[in-house]
Amino acid sequence: MSAPLIVQKDRRLVKFLYTMGLQILLSRPQFTHFLYIVAGIIGGGHRLTISNIHRTTAAKRAICSMTRFLSRSPWDCAMVNRYRKEYVMEYLHENVRPNKVGFLIPDDTAIVKDPDTKHIEGLNFHFSHLDGKTKWSHQVVSSHYSIDGFSLPMNYTLYLRKDYCKEHGLEFKSKIDIAIDQINDFQPIPGTKTYLLTDVWYTSQRVIEAALKKGIHTIGAIKRNRIIYPKGIRIPIAGFLRYICESDLDTVTVDGKLYDVYRYEGKVGKIDNAVVVMCWEGGYDKQDKPFCILCTDVELEDSKIIAYYLVRWDIETSYRYFKERLGFDHYQVRSLEAIQRFWCAVYMAYTYLELYRAENKVRFRNLGEAIDAYRQGNARRLIKFAYEAALNGQPLPSVYRNLGLAA
């Protein structure tokens, strides 16, 4: 069991939520519940269920009050999430240096549940990239923004299958539809340049066009069955590779690694003009198939296209922190509304930690170290609380009661 959290003593977290303006959206009891859930997610143990969060935060209200806050209390998590995103962009506008390059990264992740779990709404069989097969799960389409040393989660949307939407009277949106919505919702920081980084599933005509309408170029992985037109001849990349010789390649270095690359510029599918960089990491081998990256910014050099694409790993890293350290997949609530409200709190916790990490770059190399530091800070607050209680002559049963511990 984790040490009880002295939530009311965590002035930095309280100030963070107040500065964001959540007291405007939430009543005082609602604000307190949200604060305790966020604190419990950051400072809790390995299984961040609502019961464990309630126990860890030593909340004075009964656990049913916390579950009602998630499942039935009248508050708008979409608006809370919007306040969070607006706060992030205002913060970055003030702290990002001019002329920096930023990266908006859409992707999706499966939140796998036990196949015997039938009572949680919205579950279905979805493909898990991690497992390489379909899993009984929720699937979330999300976006991440990285710029000038900051790496922050932006949007998240639950993807629901068409048959589920039809059965429950909901509007169906494909993953591409959701990704486009998130691109349209994004507002780049003035004075910076933004690239959209996509894997093969999201490097589509519609996504690329949506980004271009926002003044954003796309750098995305593509399959080798994409059609290109070298010298006006229509051919898939896989077929074109047969005509490439080692003497046609250039060698570039990215993050200390050597890549042999072939650069094609011209029509790609229905895109009138783009670059395709065909990359062999570690050197050309005719037996190996290259990794192919499309870039709509034809002025960008090969090494930067590769380097920028590698930033896409930030969202994969964020999924690992979400699941392994912040309990994104630990929920046991049943309704979709309660699940998405829980995710709202998880995203708030991640945002708080990332800004805390970025403000202390010398101390923390990654988000995991920021989480560990928060938990150490809680241990110090706990010791201080017990020390001050002893100085004030507070009876031991009263101290136990305030910490939510059995006497």
268-321: per-residue pLDDT in tens?
A: 999 999 999 999 999 988 889 999 999 999 999 999 999 999 999 999 999 999
| Least confident range of 12-16, 214-218, 346-350 | 12-16
Q: Is residue 352 part of a domain?
A: yes
Question: Is the whole model's pTM more than 0.85, yes or no?
Answer: yes
Residue 3, pLDDT > 70, answer no
CA distance 128 to 384: 45
Read off the pLDDT band of 65 (50, 70, 90).
Answer: confident
Q: Is residue 227 part of a domain?
A: yes
pLDDT number for residue 287: 85
Whether residue 218 is found in the same domain as residue 291? yes
pLDDT number for residue 229: 98
Q: Is residue 140 part of a domain?
A: no
Q: Are 122 and 110 in contact (CB under 8 A)?
A: no
pLDDT number for residue 1: 45
The sign of the CA dihedral 88, 90, 96, 98 is positive
| Least confident range of 43-57, 160-174, 318-332 | 43-57
Read off the pLDDT band of 47 (50, 70, 90).
Answer: confident
Last residue of a domain, one of 255, 279, 311: 311
Locate 305 and state its tokens.
């296209």
Q: Is residue 298 part of a domain?
A: yes
Residue 131, pLDDT > 90, answer no
CA distance 14 to 18: 6
Whether residue 216 is found in the same domain as residue 304? yes
pLDDT number for residue 109: 96
Q: What integer is the mean pLDDT of 167-192?
A: 97
| Least confident range of 13-17, 167-171, 388-392 | 388-392
Share of residues in the chain with pLDDT > 70 (%): 92
Neighbours of 288 (CB within 10 A): 11
DSSP letter (8 states) at residue 365: S
Q: What integer is the mean pLDDT of 235-241?
A: 97
**Domain count for the chain:** 2
Element (H, E) at 87: helix 77-95
pLDDT number for residue 8: 57
Taking only the tens place, the pLDDT of each residue in 368-399 is 999 888 877 766 767 776 777 778 787 777 76
Q: Is residue 157 part of a domain?
A: no
Whether residue 301 is found in the same domain as residue 391? no
Q: Is residue 107 part of a domain?
A: no
What is the three-class DSSP state of 293?
Answer: strand
pLDDT number for residue 132: 84
Tell me the CA distances in angstroms from 83 to 46, 64, 261, one per residue in order. 29, 27, 44
Cβ-in-10-Å burial (0-12, 13-18, 19+) of 221 comes to middle
Q: What is the mean pLDDT of the chain?
A: 91
- Which has more pLDDT, 10 or 322? 322
pLDDT number for residue 70: 95
Domain containing 64 equals 7-78+329-402
Whether residue 339 is found in the same domain as residue 261? no
pLDDT number for residue 391: 80
Taking only the tens place, the pLDDT of each residue in 67-110 is 999 999 999 999 999 999 999 999 999 999 989 999 999 999 99
Whether residue 287 is found in the same domain as residue 249? yes
CA 183 to chain centre: 14
Read off the pLDDT band of 7 (50, 70, 90).
Answer: low
Whether residue 284 is found in the same domain as residue 373? no
Q: What integer is the mean pLDDT of 58-62?
A: 68
pLDDT number for residue 127: 87
